[in-house]
Amino acid sequence: MRLTKLEHATLVLEKSGRRLVIDPGTFTAPLADATGTVAIVVTHEHPDHWTPEQLSRVLAQSPGIPIFAPAGVAAAVAAAGSTAEFDITVVEAGDEFTVEPFTLKFFGAKHAVIHESMPVIDNVGVLVNDVLYYPGDSYTIPEGVDVDVLAAPVGAPWLKIGDAMDFVLAVAPKRSFATHDMTLSAAGKGMGGDRLKWATEQGGGEYFPLAAGDSLDL
C-alpha cells in the first residue's frame, strides 16, 4: 500500500490499483487524478477537510462510491443541499467497514477544543488496513492498536506543539509524518516536524518529513 501526502490534511492511499481519499478540503489543490477511488473518508465538517467541490471532483472520476463521515458531516452536506449527490455513510467509534482493498476502523467522537466559545463538533479518527492511523483534528488514541504509521497533526488553531508531542509519545508509532500543516510557514513546519521527530524517536520509531506530493510505502 502506498500513501501520498497532499497539501494540508489530504491523504491518498493506493493498493492494487485502487484508491482511498481522506479529507480533501480547501487548502488542497484540486485532485486532478482520482480514478480508481473506491471510497472517501471525511473526518469532520470543517472546510479544510472537505468541500462539495472536492468531493464532486472525485465522484466525477469514480462515481457511486461511499463517503464515510461522522454525523456532523452528514448534517453539513444536507445544509449544503448536496445529499442527492453524496452517499454519506455515517460512522462513529467502533465501526468497521471494508471497501476492497481497504479496511476502515473508526475511533473517537469529537474534535479537539479550539476555544470555549466555539462548539465542539463531531470528529472521527480512522485506521486503514491496521497500518495507518489518522486522527483527524483530535488527539484520540486508538486504544489497543499497535500503530505502524501515524499521520500526526502539526499546526492548527486548536494545536499546541507540546500537546502534539504528547500525542505522538502516547501512540508510540513505528513511523510517523506530519499533516495538517498549511497554517504554518516553512520555518514553522520545520520546527514542528523536528518536535514530532523527537517524540517519535522516543518510542523507537522513525519520522518521515513528507512534503506535499511525497509518498511512503506502507
Q: Are residues 122 and 154 in the same domain?
A: no
- 153 in the same domain as 131: no
For residue 153, being part of any structural domain is answered with: yes
218 in a structural domain: no
In a domain, 159, yes or no: yes
pLDDT value of position 130:
98
What's residue 94's pLDDT? 98
Global pTM? Answer: 0.97
Average pLDDT over residues 187-215: 98
Q: Tell me, what's the pLDDT at 197? A: 98
128 within a domain of the structure (yes/no): yes
- What is the CA 21 to chain-centroid distance, rounded? 9
Both 125 and 24 in one domain: the answer is yes
Is the pLDDT reported for residue 83 higher than 70?
Answer: no
Give strand pairing partners of 104: 97, 128
> pLDDT (tens digit, 9 = 90+) per residue, 9-67?
999 999 999 999 999 999 999 998 999 999 999 999 999 999 999 999 999 999 999 99
pLDDT of 85 reads 83
Q: Is residue 1 part of a domain?
A: yes
Domain tally, the chain: 2
pLDDT number for residue 87: 87
Tell me the pLDDT band of 81, cut-offs 50, 70 and 90.
Answer: confident
Q: Does 29 share its domain with 114?
A: yes
Residues 37 and 119 in one domain: yes
Res 17: pLDDT = 96
For 166-191, the pLDDT digits (tens) are 999 999 999 999 999 999 999 999 99
pLDDT of residue 84: 66
The residues, any chain, with a CB within 8 Å of residue 176's CB and separated by 6 or more, are 149, 150, 151, 152, 168, 196, 200, 205, 206, 207, 208
Least confident of 71-80, 115-124, 158-167: 71-80
Q: Give the full edge-to-edge strand order of the sheet including 18-22.
A: 88-90, 67-69, 37-41, 18-22, 11-15, 2-5, 215-217
CATH of the domain at 107: 3.60.15.10
